[in-house]
Amino acid sequence: MAASREIPHGANGGTALDCDAIIIGAGMSGMYQLIRLRELGMHVRVFEAGTGVGGTWYWNRYPGARFDSESYSYGYSFSKELLEEWDWSEHFAGQPETLRYLNLVADKFDLRRDIQFRSRVTAATYQEETRSWNVTLENGDHFRTRFLITAIGPLSTPTLPRIEGIDTFAGKSFHTARWPHEPVDFADQRVAVIGTGATGVQTIQTIAGSVGRLTVFQRTPNWCAPLHNGKIDRETQRKIRAAYPEMFRRCQETFACFLHTPDPRGAFEVTDQEREAFYEKLYAERGFGIWQGNFRDILTDRKANATISDFVARKIRQRVTDQKVAEKLIPRNHGFGTRRLPLETFYYEVYNQNNVELVDITETPIERITPDGIKTGDREYPFDIIIYATGFDAITGSFDRIDLRGAGGVRLKDKWQPGPQTFLGVMVDGFPNMMMLMGPHTALGNIPRSIEYNVDWVSGLIRHARENNLTRVEATAAGVASWTDHVKALGGGLLSNEVDSWMTGINSNVEGKQVRIIARYSGSAPAYRARCDEVALRGYDELALA
């Protein structure tokens, strides 16, 4: 076991620590947090499991991986110089471009010198005597720090399906979030895709034209809507750049930090013709408008929701030639927008190709993976490549994989066994000096906007602690109970909370994740920020400070 590396000048509050803060994860959250803590003059270390920066955009290299947020609304807003320097080439940029962007950010702000790659954090234990965290890496190294900041991603722990024989397959197999860095050749290959969530949809529509045969194994069809991506020409780029301040201001005002925000009208406050025309308009528009900019009640009122579900079902029937296949692609167990909406580009038309087959595994379940392919209830399919687009152990999954122990050795996993409990989605009682970025119970939405807010809030709290010689910052049990109750109350009445999905903590491939929880804050982002601002403005008097 390696010895702790003493860096006395990093000490804060009289204790020899290795650094003032440790950030786990070098995605967009961890990168920006590093920038902000450096500005406070702190000595910071970042530990990242991957070999490069970018998080989501480092790992998800599958064919067709791209934004569903408008590119320009997704990038960082904190640096005017960076905004001037970077041009997005498409309204919804692909993964390679976003990874290039995040590498530019790392270069520009010289981030890599404080990031240790290939360094998975396996445990972190709070030490009361020194008011510090002892962080352990997979290789056994230890580091001591005053503050511990988790930036481990809401969607960063991939899960494979629990199917017998998965290790026996003799061909190539990939999880979409662990895609190889080298190109995969699909020519003449017999390819299976398991999973039809947002990632499955992007993969399927992208590879369908280049594979020999494609077989899609679908358990739950998802409602999808057109992305309407397009290149950004010079003139549009100029306009986007000029409009940045106004655009970011708008993102601050909308419900979930997207450019789109709910229409104030209810679905039945207009005539049938007006409603149909509105849906046609939204279906023809770019991005999440049909989900985030729809009538205010489609996600809360069953009848309102049925009107948009019926509309999109009709579109699917129009776009898919074989009506039996179309019916299989129409969701029956949830309404439009009550699960994360995949945006697509000619996804439905893929099923009109002769080389593509859709297998509904609720009718013919997968029995096992064999060395040659996949065996369902009624036949065996031979494959050269199997792609698992089976998603993530979302929101709490990355926390569960670190042995996080707070004061008195309490495990976070045990504390959260009934569901996450947090203060503002940032802190947990019994876990002093630990702050979470994009953890449970915080506002997500168009995530970089939420990242920038959360990082600034956490940085403000740490600045306050350092300026006031505070070495212990903790949420109170009462504060946690009250925020958790608030988050649960906000979830009441939302149709999405009546549906099994990663947003309600369900993952049939993970033991113990079969009971719905409220994992997300579902109020408005402005209301979230107002509450956090209030805590800061009152000198953090709702926290236990010492």
Ligand X SMILES: Cc1cc2nc3c(=O)[nH]c(=O)nc-3n(C[C@H](O)[C@H](O)[C@H](O)COP(=O)(O)OP(=O)(O)OC[C@H]3O[C@@H](n4cnc5c(N)ncnc54)[C@H](O)[C@@H]3O)c2cc1C
Q: Is 397 in the site for ligand X (CB under 6 A)?
A: no
Given a contact cutoff of 8 angstroms between Cβ atoms, the answer to whether 414 and 431 are in contact is no
CB of 544 to ligand X, least distance (A): 27
Stretch that binds ligand X, among 43-51, 141-149, 159-167, 178-186 (CB under 6 A): 43-51
CB of 514 to ligand X, least distance (A): 22
Q: Is 171 in the site for ligand X (CB under 6 A)?
A: no
- Cα–Cα dist 123/371, whole Å: 37
Nearest CB to ligand X, comparing residues 359 and 532? 532
CB of 251 to ligand X, least distance (A): 11
Beta bridge partners of 386: 173, 192
Q: Is 438 in the site for ligand X (CB under 6 A)?
A: yes
Stretch that binds ligand X, among 42-50, 232-240, 299-307, 517-525 (CB under 6 A): 42-50
- Cα–Cα dist 521/524, whole Å: 8
Nearest CB to ligand X, comparing residues 459 and 471? 459
Please select the residue that binds ligand X; options are 17, 23, 43, 47, rule is CB under 6 A: 47
Q: Is 289 in the site for ligand X (CB under 6 A)?
A: no
Q: Is 126 in the site for ligand X (CB under 6 A)?
A: no
Three-class SS of residue 375? Answer: strand
Q: Is 446 in the site for ligand X (CB under 6 A)?
A: yes
CB of 102 to ligand X, least distance (A): 9
User: Would you give the distance in Å from CA 15 to the centre of its chain?
Assistant: 36
Given a contact cutoff of 8 angstroms between Cβ atoms, the answer to whether 196 and 221 are in contact is yes
Please select the residue that binds ligand X; options are 20, 48, 263, 384, rule is CB under 6 A: 48
CB of 60 to ligand X, least distance (A): 4
Q: Is 68 in the site for ligand X (CB under 6 A)?
A: yes
Task: Provide the mask over 127-146, with x wherever binding to ligand X is found by CB under 6 A and - wherever it is not.
Answer: --------------------
Q: Is 369 in the site for ligand X (CB under 6 A)?
A: no
Nearest CB to ligand X, comparing residues 11 and 137? 137
Q: At what angle do helices 272-284 and 302-319 cross, to 10 degrees?
A: 60
Give whole-number Cα distances, 68 to 166, 292, 422, in Å. 31, 12, 28
Q: Which tokens go with 360?
A: 């509904």
Give whole-number Cα distances, 32 to 110, 258, 493, in Å. 12, 20, 35
Given a contact cutoff of 8 angstroms between Cβ atoms, the answer to whether 345 and 203 are in contact is no
Given a contact cutoff of 8 angstroms between Cβ atoms, the answer to whether 169 and 369 are in contact is yes
- Cα–Cα dist 172/187, whole Å: 14
In the range 300-359, which residues lie near ligand X by CB under 6 A?
none
Nearest CB to ligand X, comparing residues 61 and 328? 61
- Cα–Cα dist 182/477, whole Å: 49
- Cα–Cα dist 174/388, whole Å: 6
Q: Is 196 in the site for ligand X (CB under 6 A)?
A: no
Please select the residue that binds ligand X; options are 18, 20, 22, 30, rule is CB under 6 A: 30
CB of 138 to ligand X, least distance (A): 8
Given a contact cutoff of 8 angstroms between Cβ atoms, the answer to whether 299 and 355 are in contact is no
Given a contact cutoff of 8 angstroms between Cβ atoms, the answer to whether 110 and 92 are in contact is no
Task: Provide the mask over 487-526, with x wherever binding to ligand X is found by CB under 6 A and - wherever it is not.
Answer: ----------------------------------------
Please select the residue that binds ligand X; options are 115, 151, 225, 240, rule is CB under 6 A: 151
Residues 6+ apart with CB under 8 A from 528: 424, 442, 443, 521
Q: Is 99 in the site for ligand X (CB under 6 A)?
A: no
Q: Is 27 in the site for ligand X (CB under 6 A)?
A: yes
Please select the residue that binds ligand X; options are 77, 132, 156, 205, rule is CB under 6 A: 156
- Cα–Cα dist 224/338, whole Å: 11
Given a contact cutoff of 8 angstroms between Cβ atoms, the answer to whether 353 and 237 are in contact is no
Nearest CB to ligand X, comparing residues 27 and 373? 27
Please select the residue that binds ligand X; options are 20, 22, 23, 25, rule is CB under 6 A: 25
CB atoms within 10 A of CB 5: 13
Main-chain dihedrals φ then ψ at residue 321, nearest 5 degrees: -70, -50
Q: Is 50 in the site for ligand X (CB under 6 A)?
A: yes
Three-class SS of residue 457? Answer: helix
Interaction site with ligand X (CB under 6 A): 24-30, 47-50, 55-56, 58, 60, 65, 67-69, 74, 120-121, 151-156, 199, 398, 402, 437-438, 446-447, 451
